[in-house]
A and B are shown apart, each in its own frame.
Chain A
Amino acid sequence: MGSYVARRVLQGIFTLFLVFFLLHVLTTLAIQVNGNPALAFFGEKVPTQSQLLEVKKRYNLDDPCFEQLGNPCLRPFVERLNAYLHGDFGTNLRGDQAVTEMVATAAPNTLRLFTVVTITWLIVGMLLGSLAARFRGRLPDHSIRSLSILIDAFPVFVMLLVYKYIVAVPVERWMDDRFGDEAFPTLMFKPSFDPDHPWATVVVPGFLLGVTGSAAFIRLVRASQLENYHADYVRTARAKGLGDARVTVFHIIRNSSIPVVTAIGFVFADALAGAVITEGLMNIYGMGGLLWRAVRESEVSVVAGMVSLLAVVVLVVNVLVDLAYAALDPRIRYD
């Protein structure tokens, strides 16, 4: 097990290196095609050569390779990696705030959002998936299946849009009449985030974001449980005279959790992208919301820094998922 962990972590670090290189090549290419973003610093004004050089230096854009299309700019890449190693993921264009600082203040709200998302996954995905498997081919199965199709048909931003503009306003007004404007149910349906009530106002957006990911879970849980219902070892467990509850929990659910855990990795990556939209639309001050604003305001350096950071997060989650996989399935460990 120990060597497996070490190997997986090293592999993750190598992948991360490649991811950073990919992102670097993309941004470099953009600068080469697009012109140096240092120019954007001056807005409408035309800077003198020395002013421009000054700014370029400040943003590490002074290397001549940025003017040569197709040059991979390896030297700046090494510098950037070095900066990443020291926890420096760049600053905003005005240079008054580091990306890591911005992330640090925004992270708690994103964590709140993902707490709600995870709970939703567990409840909606696991519960409905198990129900569908249990009642395979009968009414609950068909309804749950239709529901998961419907979920798939509503992209996150459509779901949020419908909620924010069509549902939230009348519901909030109704709650307000009944419970008053400081009550939890009223706050819950506020169409935008309120930093004074970070939990209440994050529940519904988090639930909606969680729902969009849970369709995949429903299908996966259903399929893997169905496979296990008929597995030979489940039959063995029954032949041992174990009760239904014991067989279900310790053999069916335990074994079908393996593919479900592996799915968490890619559903998480999707949810992270969804968080950008959710936080952006609902004005939640989180990592996704920052990225959203940076995209809208063309703060390229912030976008690049954030995406790199989020890539680190995704990779860490992936490695954790693989380790959980190995912990759950002894056949992996001894390879």
Chain B
Amino acid sequence: MSVPLLEVDDLVVEFHTADGVVRAVNGLSWSVNAGETLAIVGESGSGKSVSVQAVMGLLQMPPARIVRGQIRFEGQDLLSMGRRQHRAMCGERIAMVFQDALAALNPVYSVGYQLAEALVVRKGLSRRDARRRAIELLELVKVPNPSQRVKDYPHQFSGGMRQRVMIAMALALEPDVLIADEPTTALDVTVQAQIMRLLAEIQAERQMALILITHDLGVVANVADHITVMYAGRAVEQAGVYDIFAAPAHPYTKALLRSIPRVDMKGRELEVIAGRPPVLTDIPPGCAFHPRCQYAQDVCRTEWPELRDLGGGRKSACHFAESVLDGTVESPADGDGGPGVTESRGMRGAGV
């Protein structure tokens, strides 16, 4: 395959706020092919949602401004096409599922109406056909008793069911790319797993490209093909899912992995990443992660590490990527949980 289905290339997005200009996304690139799943992982404020909002044309401009970069769908730049054309791509070719389904569904319309809306408006379906299709969609996402529930309003659904409705709505126009922005964050752990399984099933069945935005590496382990880890507006590591879980090539990824609860670690204490994510108006000089990094050297405080190709389809933005990768760098945390990494019982650290 020569041209990726959807590709973000060197994207820079700034927000103009009262406190100055903030670079929310700084030279980010990623791509996804049909039938593939890409997970974009990062803490809140890392800019992980901004790039997909740019894809969907949902950024509020101003305050947001796309400084440079391209977003290509089937090789065609979405940013340079007209607003109307861009909007026409959304929903039909690229669709999106949002985090908080209760807020993301309009409270005053029945879910049937909202499922059918795009079909009626965009596809010119009759009300009756659209309704029938809405019921099919609810069936597809395994909402029980769909022909009854289609008349209900969002507030009458449980959290998990609402998220299924959201997914059904995104699937209405049979998109080629589905973007899910923290689709399970607001849900219980058991429901989270069900929703992820549903997304994976639908993706496999339709050979869609799926983009998952999350702060929780654990959630995407079983679903994703590729992972882009973001920190302070930049991609710090990009690799296949097995590579990342087997041996991360960036200290931040490493720390994220250690903060995932695992069955085989039962009874042991969970680690959290020390410190806070940087405030975007005040990103530290050099490598943005250095104040929290246990391997930090002098060079990290002054020089930004480029995102380098390490071969084998992986990239890392660390001066010592190779050493991190093969574990030759001495990490105090490996031994006694020294200054870099603190421990805490039962907390899922990196996330919230």
Contacts and interface: CB of A to CB of B under 8 A. Distances in A.
A236 interface: yes
A255 B106 CA distance: 8
Interface of A: 230-233, 235-243, 246, 250-251, 254-255, 258, 328-331, 334
B57 interface: yes
B346 interface: no
21 contacts: A232-B100, A232-B103, A232-B104, A233-B106, A235-B58, A235-B104, A236-B104, A236-B106, A236-B169, A237-B106, A238-B56, A240-B172, A241-B87, A241-B173, A242-B87, A242-B117, A250-B117, A255-B108, A330-B108, A331-B153, A334-B156
A331 B90 contact: no
Contact of B90 (A241, A250, A328): A241
Interface residues of B, number: 34
Interface string B92-130: 100110101001111110100000011001100000000
Given A233-B103, A233-B104, A238 B57 contact: yes
Given A241-B173, A242-B122, A254-B108, 6 more contacts: A233-B103, A233-B104, A235-B58, A241-B118, A330-B107, A330-B108
B106 A251 contact: yes
Nearest to B105: A233
Contact of A238 (B58, B122, B169): B58
B103 A231 contact: yes
A33 to B, nearest CB: 52
Contacts of B91: 239-242
A149 B122 CA distance: 43
A239 B95 CA distance: 7
A224 B100 CA distance: 21
A254 B107 CA distance: 11
Which secondary structure characterizes the binding site on chain A? Answer: helix
A331 B107 CA distance: 7
A240 B104 contact: no
A331 B155 contact: yes
B204 interface: no
B75 to A, nearest CB: 20
B103 A241 contact: no
The 8 lowest CB-CB distance pairs between A and B, nearest first, are: A241-B91, A232-B103, A233-B106, A241-B90, A232-B104, A330-B153, A240-B91, A240-B118
Contacts of A331: 107, 153, 155
B98 A243 contact: no
Nearest to B113: A250
Nearest to B99: A232
Contacts of A231: 103
A328 B153 CA distance: 12
A241 B153 contact: no
B164 to A, nearest CB: 15
B64 interface: no
A246 B87 CA distance: 12
A50 to B, nearest CB: 68
A240 B90 CA distance: 6
Contacts of A246: 121
B108 A236 contact: no
Contacts of B187: none
Contact of A328 (B95, B108, B173): B108
A329 B173 contact: no
B89 interface: yes
Contacts of B84: 243
B107 A236 contact: no
A114 B106 CA distance: 34
